[in-house]
Every structure is written in structure tokens, then in C-alpha cells.
Amino acid sequence: MNLPRRARLLGGGALLLSPAAMLASASNGHDYEVNSLDQKTYGVDVSFPHHHARVSTNYDFLPHNNPAYASPTHPNYVSTPEEFKEMPVQRLGNRQDFYDHFLEGCRHHENDQAEECDATEHDRIEMNLRQPESVVNYTDIGFKKIKAPPKVFKAIKEFWEANKGREEVEEWFAGNTYTNHWES
């Protein structure tokens, strides 16, 4: 899947090119899928809403996700309910509470413009569905950690040293949910 990237400076002059959102395929299978770095992946809408306005509630402890009963011939077999058929298994706990708290923080911060938080969330999710097809992926998994070329690292370090201590608070439009600026 093609994903947008942004560059981030790491210690020792390493540069990490990473996707804004790592979208991995996952199914209701009982094992984690892994990427080419042998990292567990868990799918869309598991850690935070990316394609829908809710995170997965298909918890790994639900009876239909019990690998011991996976065979339809097992006496305790439970088929996957319709509501969970296309939903990845949720192994990260109740992430919906985290998301709800995130949105409530925005609404509280915006006060009389709280509805803008919901409108921006709707737009963010729509963009997540549209944008990936227009971006080129330069690696198999969407990022690669490399040592920054000395000339690039020198320019970044010089910029940092020249501007250190001159940070300014970023201003965000009403209802912006792309960052949790109301807490940071």
C-alpha cells in the first residue's frame, strides 16, 4: 500500500523515513502477521481510527477468537458473528476509550466550537481513505532507517543549533485533530 512519509532525525545522524500511518493487513486469524522486519502488525482501526470512526472491538478474548475452538468440528466452536467478520482482532485492549478521551479533549478545548472536532475527524478519516493511492512507496514496508549522509546531517544540525531556543507555539485551526495540541 502506498503511504505518505515524513523524515525524522534520530540520534547519531540516522534518518528514519516513516509513513504517517502504518496500514497493515490483518485478519481474524489467531496469529499476528509480521512485516519484513519481523515486527508484529495488527491492521487498520486497531490502535486508532484510520478508516472508520471507531476502533476494532473484536477483542482477542471473545469466544470466536479462541484458537482452541477454531475448528467447526470442536464441541465448543463459536463462529465469528457477522459484526466482527471484517474487523481485525483487537489485541491492544480498549482503544475506544483512548480515542473517546482524545476527542473529548478536543471538544473541551474548543468549547463553543466543539463540533469542529467531529467535522475535522470526519475529514481526516476521509483523507486516510483517499490519499494513499496517490503516494509512491519507496520501500516494501513504507520506511527504512538509514544513516543520514554527512552533508545532510551537517545542514540539519546547523539549522538546529542556529534556531535552538527560538521555538514558537504552533497555532492550529479550531477543531484540528491531526495532533493533540490541546494537551501538548
pLDDT, block means (10 residues), the chain with 184 residues:
35 38 39 77 90 93 87 89 92 94 96 96 95 85 88 97 92 91 85
CA distance 110 to 154: 41
| Residue 21 confidence (pLDDT) | 32
pTM attached to this predicted model: 0.67
pLDDT of residue 31: 62
Interatomic CA distance for residues 94 and 72, integer angstroms: 28
Distance of alpha carbon 142 from alpha carbon 151, whole angstroms: 24
C-alpha cell at 141: 514496508
- The rounded distance, in Å, linking the Cα atoms of 38 and 15 is 20
Residue-level pLDDT at 32: 67
Cell numbers representing residue 93 in the block: 485492549
